[in-house]
Homo-oligomer: A and B are copies of this chain.
Amino acid sequence: MQCNQFLNRMFSKACEYGIKAAIFIALKSYQGERVSLKDIAAKINSPEAFTAKILQKLAKNNIVNSVKGAAGGFEIEKHKIASIQLAEIVDAIDGDSIYIGCGLGLNKCSEDHPCPVHHKFAAVREELKKMLESTNLEELALGIKSGASYLRT
């Protein structure tokens, strides 16, 4: 008997992979290295082909550069790394409804027609928004570099 029940998340799996991938790419880019899909998937412990799709999305959103062909891979221009906010990555993959939308699924969140949890929820959601908008890739990458944090279990 498999007890599957219960695994709601703040971010989708795709988004989790996307964030971790971006961090790893940023880290390597600082070292002047370009990384392959294979390396990324191994490092962040994600399914390769699925990760490829996510990277395509990040590339289309100009968050990472992809380079085709032998010796190709993914990279981020060093000077851009510190200016990429977590919010941009989440936005590219999950959209902004997590920190914009109504907590109880009303068409839109509004003061004029609030859902029952609006006032309490909006505060938390705003915290999340601020957090995502004030956290950049550089600091996240530095945490990995210094050994203060980890990309996989």
Contact = CB atoms under 8 A, between A and B. Distances in A.
A96 B105 CA distance: 19
Contacts of A131: 120-121, 123-124
A107 B148 contact: no
Interface stretch (A14-22, A28-36, A60-68, A71-79): A14-22
Contacts of A11: 8, 103-104
Contact of A151 (B20, B94, B116): B116
A25 interface: no
A113 B149 CA distance: 6
A144 interface: yes
B106 A120 contact: no
Contacts of A135: 117, 120
Majority secondary structure, A binding face: loop
Given A115-B149, A116-B140, A150-B114, A105 B8 contact: no
Contacts of A95: 5-8
A101 B141 CA distance: 21
A86 B115 CA distance: 14
Interface of A: 5-13, 15-16, 19-20, 23, 86, 94-98, 101, 103-107, 113-118, 120-121, 123-125, 127-128, 131, 135, 140-141, 143-144, 148-153
Closest 4 CB pairs of A and B: A6-B95, A8-B94, A116-B140, A16-B105
